[in-house]
A and B are shown apart, each in its own frame.
Chain A
Amino acid sequence: MNSVVLSEQDISRAVTRITHEILEKNKGATSLVLVGIRTRGATLAKRIAKKINDIDGIEVDLGVLDITLYRDDLSAGKQNPVIEKTSIPFALEGKQVVLIDDVLFTGRSIRAAIDALIDFGRPASIQLGVLIDRGHRELPIRPDYVGKNIPTSKANRVQVLMREDDGKDEVCIIDALTKDNS
């Protein structure tokens, strides 16, 4: 069974709140940089950047990261995923980088993303914003901005749909038993 945990409106409110929190914590957007993790994290980052522009009138630098090449589970007997472009066309030195992803789960993706970011330069700080924190961390990683905490079973899957990528905004939990049909 799929159960919807965030609707379109919920997502919109969460994005607005995260944006405000980012601006508040970083005292504005002057040295701020957003980097979204492909694919849905990048979409979220884009929305947050637009919100920042709406609020502060500043166009923050926006980067996109494909973390596949930094993953620790490659070559585990399965086909490697397609590599999409990474694009961080600006210097990270001295910047407050906010890394954006859709779901925080084991923390391994974020570890990979931090490694990747550091290969691009030495930011002043790296913060983490996620739409969903579903728990079950395997590494010492915690988010700075969270849209919603959702307790899940480890076997469940959390599916984030974004209008730009999937045609609609929605977050649902897919039951382990039905995941093969999803």
Chain B
Amino acid sequence: MTLVIKNGRVIDPANSLDEPKDLLIDKGRIKAIESPGSISFEAGKKPSVIDAKGCVVCPGLIDMHVHFREPGFEYKETITSGCQSAAAGGFTSVAVMPNTNPVNDTRAVTEHILSIARAEGIINVYPIAAITQKLEGERLSEMADLKDAGAIAFSDDGRPVINNELMRRAFEYSKMFKLPLIQHSEMLDLTEGGCMNEGIVSTELGLKGMPAEAEDIMVYRDIALLEKTGGQLHVAHISSKNSVDLVRQAKSRGLSVTCEVAPHHFTLTDEAVRGYDTNTKMSPPLRTIDDVEAIKEGLQDGTIDIIATDHAPHDIADKQVEYQNACFGIVGLETALPLSLKLVDEKILPMADVIKKLTSTPADIFNLEAGSLSLDNKADLLIFNPNLEYSIDISKFHSKSKNSPFDGWKVKGKVIHTLVKGKTAYSANEN
């Protein structure tokens, strides 16, 4: 089956390409990228055509931080519903965190996740396995076996590795597999009982604060250990000004450290918590305008390598409760593109750089076969209209959960088609 995508503005950061091009896709792979109108066919061999006029054509987005809740919490999200949500958001590859039940700390769970994902075949799913068994922070997981089963990184996301000695050994041990450790940086004794950023807003609202230092201290510790042991550190969802500085300094010393930011952390501040909407409760928490500005600087100077959503679906029973009792996190996949494109409107980043942080850079860091439009690559593509305005409507989410603080927001940048191996994974026309 042959497909031509014509008249689009093709942005492929991996190949420094940003110009009008037509794409030829055959047998699920990219076969030609030519000037508009110059792809020709033999008589009688008529391809299907997608007219991408007014749209951007780019590699399918990659989200290195999602929670798909399966196995164990299928009422919040399944691998299938998560993949549909991802496709609707323009993502063709996601990395799923291991805090399921059972935890993804053994070959069996990793293979289980991969087998479901392959059977559904909607988008590419990359498992992230646990650093420690059962996420208990006691013993290292069987990293060799997990890597062999398909794990692409290790993380105890949501339950940071508190023990310093254990973290040191995790860096050392993982070094031989050349896989990064992803840390949710939070000193839990500083945030115990906390549910939002500590500051004037938490003081006014009478909610226990989670100081930014809880994040900073662990980022610093991990960098210090990394410097000693070698290995690769990826800081998950960075949210504080000082943490951005710490990563910047570490990078300048040549350490193998990367980091990601979630769209809500450069879109909202802790002011959004006023009114006690539990959809503003995340970990790390929404922080102050100073932090948001530091994050934008970090995005600009490359300190922050990638954008990842921390897609954390929760059902209404876990959100329609007292703020303190609500679960942390929001649905991220279906709002990430328009929220990230705000960075273009605000002149923080050019369009190609935003796409880069959602495609080729995560692919490079995690060594994925994805994120670029080079010839013969799998045709994982996103076609979106960067100028189309629409209102975010949580009731239309493909995710099983609807927890988002962005309901009703007017945004720009709409996913039109998501293609995985040349096949439609999502099409706005059919939804």
Check whether chain A touches chain B (CB < 8 angstroms).
no
Question: Taking beta carbons and an 8 Å cutoff, which residues of A are in contact with B?
Answer: none
Question: Taking beta carbons and an 8 Å cutoff, which residues of B are in contact with A?
Answer: none
